[in-house]
């Protein structure tokens, strides 16, 4: 029964669950970016270049028999994902950064108080 308990503790630990949620969200985000590249970027920005190459689809791009169109689409997707993650991390780090309030100066310690009392007594003694 110890093995099952160990596995349960591991599988439902906060970090593992957070990682699973991150992977699922990442997969969903990847689908959004793929659609963005295939359905918006390619038709709007790449179609003029594709028409000059006499190609209707980015997947058909090739040079000396090497089809590099899908690779180009993957590179564009990666750059978009990397840029969005950069912006997301930048915003999160800015939100997590708390303004550092200077700490109030600490009061004198007991030793310092005692020394100040001795100093004051010596001053009054020398003034008499």
- 50-87: pLDDT as tens digits: 777 777 777 777 778 887 877 887 888 788 878 877 88
Full-model pTM: 0.49
What residue has token string 């003029």?
Answer: 48
Domain ranges of the chain: 2-102
- Return the SS3 of 1: coil
Burial class (CB in 10 A: 0-12, 13-18, 19+), 95: exposed
Whether 43 has a pLDDT exceeding 80, the answer reads no
pLDDT band per the 50, 70, 90 thresholds, residue 14: low
Residue 110 to residue 119: CA distance in whole angstroms: 14
Instruction: Please list the residues that pair with 66 across neighbouring strands.
Output: 63
Q: Domain 2-102: which topology? A: 1.10.1200
Residue 105 φ/ψ, nearest 5 degrees: -60, 135
Q: CA angle, corner 10, sides to 30 and 4, nearest 5?
A: 125
pLDDT band per the 50, 70, 90 thresholds, residue 101: low
Whether 24 has a pLDDT exceeding 80, the answer reads yes
The predicted structure's pLDDT at residue 99: 66
Largest CA distance in the chain: 107
Whether 25 has a pLDDT exceeding 80, the answer reads yes
């Amino acid at each position: 029964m110890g093995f099952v308990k160990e596995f349960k503790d591991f599988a439902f630990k906060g970090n593992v669950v957070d990682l699973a949620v991150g992977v699922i969200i990442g997969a969903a985000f990847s689908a959004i970016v793929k659609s963005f590249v295939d359905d918006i970027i390619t038709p709007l920005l790449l179609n003029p270049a594709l028409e000059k190459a006499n190609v209707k689809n980015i997947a058909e791009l090739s040079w000396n028999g090497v089809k590099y169109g899908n690779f180009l689409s993957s590179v564009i997707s990666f750059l978009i994902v990397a840029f969005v993650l950069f912006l997301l991390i930048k915003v999160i780090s800015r939100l997590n950064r708390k303004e550092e309030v200077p700490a109030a100066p600490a009061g004198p310690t007991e030793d310092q108080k005692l020394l100040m009392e001795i100093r004051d007594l010596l001053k009054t003694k020398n003034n008499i």
